[in-house]
Chain A
Amino acid sequence: MSATVIRRSTPASIRVWEAQVVTVWRAWKSSALLSMLQPLVFLGGMGFGVGALVDERSGSTAALGGLGYLAFLGPALMATTAMQTATFEASYPVMDGFKWRRAFEAMTATPVAPRDVVNGMALWWASRILLGVTGVALVLAAIPTTRGWGLIPAALGATLCGMVFATAMGAWASTRESEASFAAVQRFIIIPLFLFGGAFYPVDSLPSALRPVAWITPLWHGVELSRGLTTSGITFAAACGHLAYLAVLTAIGYIICRITFHRRLTR
C-alpha cells in the first residue's frame, strides 16, 4: 500500500468541528432541539405572565428604563441562552470526547493535533451558541416591542458572552475525570447568575453590596449588551467596553483550554 498524495484543503479545526456536528446530530438530536425550546418557555411564562403584573404597576416601567417588561426581559434571554447552551456544550460533550466516546483520542492519532481539537471545539461552541441565540432572536423579531435590526449585533454579542462560559467550562471539564462536578457548576454558578445577572430585573434593585458582584460577572455584560443593542439603547463606548471585557475573558479561557487539552492529550 503506497501513500497517495492527498489534496489538503480543509483546516484541521474545521474537520474537528465537522465531526462534532455529525456526532451531535446523531446522538443528541432530540436534546438539542429540546434545548431550543427552553428560552421560549421563559419568554412566554415570564415575559407575558410576569410582564402583565409588572407593567400594570405604576413606576415599574421607569425602573426598567422606560421599557415594558417583555422588552426588558426578551433581549436578555439571548445572553442567558448563550450562557446555558455554552455550559452544556462545553461540559458533557468535552467529557464525552476525552472519556466516554474518546473521540479526541481517536482524532489525535491522526494529523489532528490537540490545538486543532481546541479550535474545532471552540468553533463548535460558537456555532451551537449562535444557533440557540438565533432561535431566541427570531422569536423576538416576531414581537413588535423587541423587533429591530439591533437583534443582529445583539445576537453576536450574546454569542461572545456564551464563549466566555464555553471556554471556562471546557477548560474545567478537560481537567475532570468524571462529570460529577457539572451539576454543581450548574447549581451554584449558572443558576445564580441566571437569577442575579440582571436578566429578570435591573441590577440596581439588588442591595448595593451585591451590585459590584453582578458587574464583574460576564453574564451581566452580555445582558446589558444584548438589551442595549435592541431595546434600551447603549452608547458606543459602553458597547465597546462590554465587548472588550467579554473578549478578554474568552481569550483567557481559550488559552487555558489550549493548555489543559494539550496536557490531557499528550500524557
Chain B
Amino acid sequence: MPVIAARSVHKSFGEFEAVRGVDFEVARGEFFGFLGPNGAGKSSLMRMIGCVSPVTSGELRIFDLDPNVDGAAIRSRMGVVPQTDNLDQELTLLENLVMYGRYFDIPRRECRDRARELLEFVQLADRADSRVEPLSGGMKRRLTIARSLMNRPELLLLDEPTTGLDPQARHVLWERLYRLKEQGVTLALTTHYMDEAEQLCDRLVVMDRGRIVAEGTPRGLIVEHSTREVLELRLLSTTPDDIAERLAPIGERVEVLPDRVLVYAHDGEAALASVHQLGIEPLASLVRRSSLEDVFLRLTGRSLVE
C-alpha cells in the first residue's frame, strides 16, 4: 500500500488551476521529489497532501485514508516543513518545539524530552534557550525540521527545505534528511534545485505549470531524456542565427540559450573537436555530464532556474 496515492488530482483557486491533474504514488520508506520551477504547483500539492487544502477534484489518499474524512488522523502521523517558516520568533527554540508538540497532545514532559533530543539531532542544542529571532536562515530551517519531527512522523513533507541557504547549510540539512530516511521515514520534498533532487531522491516527478511532465529515478530520467554528456559553448556576445543549424550534425540535439549554446552528445570532447573543425571558435567551452536541468530543458523548453 503506497503512503501517498494521487489520481488525477486538481487544485483550483477560483478560475485559476494551479494543479491540473497529477498522478503519482509514493512507497513506504521512499525519498520522493517534486522538481519544478516557480509556480509549478508544488506547494499547492504539498498543502493538499498535508490535509490543509482540500482537493478540488480527483482522488488523494494518504496512509490509505481520505484527507477530507480523516485529516486529523493523517496529520497526527505526518510532519510538515512549510515553504515559509512559521516559527514563533518571540519564544525560545525549546519553547517552540514544546508548544508544537502540545498540538499533538503529547504530554508536556515528553515534549521537553523529545525537544532536547531533536535539538541535538539538528545541532542546535546549544541554542535551546535563546530566542528564535536572531537565528540564521539555515538554523531556522533546521529548527522547523526538528519541529516537524516532534510527533515522530511516518511521513515528512518538506517544501523547499533548503531554498535560500548557503551550500554548507544545505549539506548539513541533506545529511540529516539521509539519516531520517535510514530510520525508515518516508520523505516527500519539493525543490527547484536539480542537484538537490539528484542527490536526495530515490524517485521524482518533474512538474511544470500544474502538470507532471516526467517521472522516474534521477539517473533514469537523465538517460531517458538527455545524452550522457553536454558541451556548453559561450560564443561571441551575439549568437549567430544559424548556429543551431551549423552545430546540428555534431550532437544529438542543440539548445540555444540567451547566454550559451548546449550541444547534447555522448562524447563531449569529441563534439568540441568537431566544433573546432567547423571553424567555430567559442570564447569558452565546458564539457559536463547531463543533469536534471537538461531533462527539464528538454521537456519544457525552459530553464529550471531563471
Give chain A's interface residues, CB within 8 Å of chain B. 1-4, 6-10, 12, 15-16, 18-19, 22-23, 26-27, 101-103, 105-113, 265-267
* Contact A22/B95 with A1-B152, A3-B154, A109-B80 known, Cβ cut-off 8 Å: yes
Q: Please name the residue on chain B nearest to A22 by beta carbon.
A: B99
B222 to chain A, nearest CB (A): 32
Q: Is B53's beta carbon under 8 Å from chain A?
A: yes
**For residue B86, which residues in chain A have a CB less than 8 angstroms away from its CB?**
101-103, 105-106
Checking A23, A109, A265, A267 against B88 with a beta-carbon cut-off of 8 angstroms, the contacting residue is: A23
Question: Which of B68-76, B259-267, B297-305 lies at the binding interface?
Answer: B68-76
Let me know if A7 and B90 touch, CB within 8 A: no
**For residue B90, which residues in chain A have a CB less than 8 angstroms away from its CB?**
23, 26-27
Q: Is B185's beta carbon under 8 Å from chain A?
A: yes
**For residue A106, which residues in chain B have a CB less than 8 angstroms away from its CB?**
86-87, 100, 103
Let me know if A12 and B88 touch, CB within 8 A: no
Checking A3, A110, A267 against B75 with a beta-carbon cut-off of 8 angstroms, the contacting residue is: A110
Let me know if B82 and A109 touch, CB within 8 A: yes
Give chain B's interface residues, CB within 8 Å of chain A. 13, 50, 52-54, 71-73, 75-77, 80, 82, 84, 86-91, 95, 99-100, 102-107, 149, 151-154, 180, 183-185
Let me know if A110 and B151 touch, CB within 8 A: yes
Let me know if B105 and A8 touch, CB within 8 A: yes
For this complex, 17 residue pairs linking A to B, each with C-beta atoms less than 8 Å apart, are A1-B183, A1-B184, A3-B154, A6-B104, A12-B105, A15-B105, A16-B103, A23-B88, A23-B90, A26-B95, A103-B88, A109-B82, A111-B104, A112-B72, A112-B103, A266-B53, A267-B53
**For residue B50, which residues in chain A have a CB less than 8 angstroms away from its CB?**
109
Q: Please name the residue on chain B nearest to A27 by beta carbon.
A: B90
In the complex, what distance in Å separates the CA atom of A105 from the CA atom of B82? 9
Let me know if B106 and A6 touch, CB within 8 A: yes
Q: Please name the residue on chain A nearest to B156 by beta carbon.
A: A1
In the complex, what distance in Å separates the CA atom of A9 from the CA atom of B107? 9
**For residue B53, which residues in chain A have a CB less than 8 angstroms away from its CB?**
266-267
**For residue A6, which residues in chain B have a CB less than 8 angstroms away from its CB?**
104-106, 151
Instruction: Count chain A CB atoms within 10 A of each CB in B73, B90, B103 and give the residue with the most.
Output: B103
In the complex, what distance in Å separates the CA atom of A112 from the CA atom of B73? 10
Checking B80, B91, B153 against A1 with a beta-carbon cut-off of 8 angstroms, the contacting residue is: B153
In the complex, what distance in Å separates the CA atom of A111 from the CA atom of B73? 7
Q: Please name the residue on chain A nearest to B91 by beta carbon.
A: A26
Contacts across chains A and B counted by CB atoms under 8 Å? 92
* Contact A110/B100 with A1-B153, A1-B184, A23-B90 known, Cβ cut-off 8 Å: yes
* Contact A266/B152 with A22-B99, A111-B76 known, Cβ cut-off 8 Å: no
Q: Please name the residue on chain B nearest to A104 by beta carbon.
A: B86
**For residue B95, which residues in chain A have a CB less than 8 angstroms away from its CB?**
22, 26
In the complex, what distance in Å separates the CA atom of A144 from the CA atom of B114? 54
**For residue A9, which residues in chain B have a CB less than 8 angstroms away from its CB?**
105, 107
In the complex, what distance in Å separates the CA atom of A215 from the CA atom of B282? 86
**For residue A27, which residues in chain B have a CB less than 8 angstroms away from its CB?**
90
In the complex, what distance in Å separates the CA atom of A267 from the CA atom of B48? 10
Let me know if A108 and B154 touch, CB within 8 A: no
Let me know if A110 and B82 touch, CB within 8 A: no
**For residue A16, which residues in chain B have a CB less than 8 angstroms away from its CB?**
103
Checking B99, B107, B152 against A3 with a beta-carbon cut-off of 8 angstroms, the contacting residue is: B152
In the complex, what distance in Å separates the CA atom of A255 from the CA atom of B105? 26
**For residue B76, which residues in chain A have a CB less than 8 angstroms away from its CB?**
110-111
**For residue A267, which residues in chain B have a CB less than 8 angstroms away from its CB?**
13, 53
In the complex, what distance in Å separates the CA atom of A23 from the CA atom of B86? 14
In the complex, what distance in Å separates the CA atom of A103 from the CA atom of B53? 17
**For residue B77, which residues in chain A have a CB less than 8 angstroms away from its CB?**
3
In the complex, what distance in Å separates the CA atom of A3 from the CA atom of B151? 7
Let me know if A110 and B104 touch, CB within 8 A: yes
**For residue A2, which residues in chain B have a CB less than 8 angstroms away from its CB?**
152, 154, 184
Let me know if A19 and B105 touch, CB within 8 A: no
Let me know if B102 and A18 touch, CB within 8 A: yes
Instruction: Count chain A CB atoms within 10 A of each CB in B54, B75, B77, B185 and give the residue with the most.
Output: B75
In the complex, what distance in Å separates the CA atom of A146 from the CA atom of B45? 61
**For residue B99, which residues in chain A have a CB less than 8 angstroms away from its CB?**
19, 22
* Contact A101/B89 with A106-B100, A108-B52, A266-B52 known, Cβ cut-off 8 Å: yes
B14 to chain A, nearest CB (A): 10
In the complex, what distance in Å separates the CA atom of A110 from the CA atom of B52? 9
Let me know if A10 and B152 touch, CB within 8 A: no
Which are the 4 A-B pairs with shortest beta-carbon distances? A110-B103, A102-B86, A111-B72, A109-B80
Interface contacts beyond A2-B154, A103-B86, A110-B151: sample of 17 additional A-B pairs, CB < 8 Å, sorted by A? A1-B152, A1-B180, A1-B183, A2-B184, A3-B154, A6-B106, A8-B105, A12-B103, A18-B102, A23-B91, A26-B91, A105-B82, A106-B103, A110-B75, A110-B104, A112-B103, A265-B52
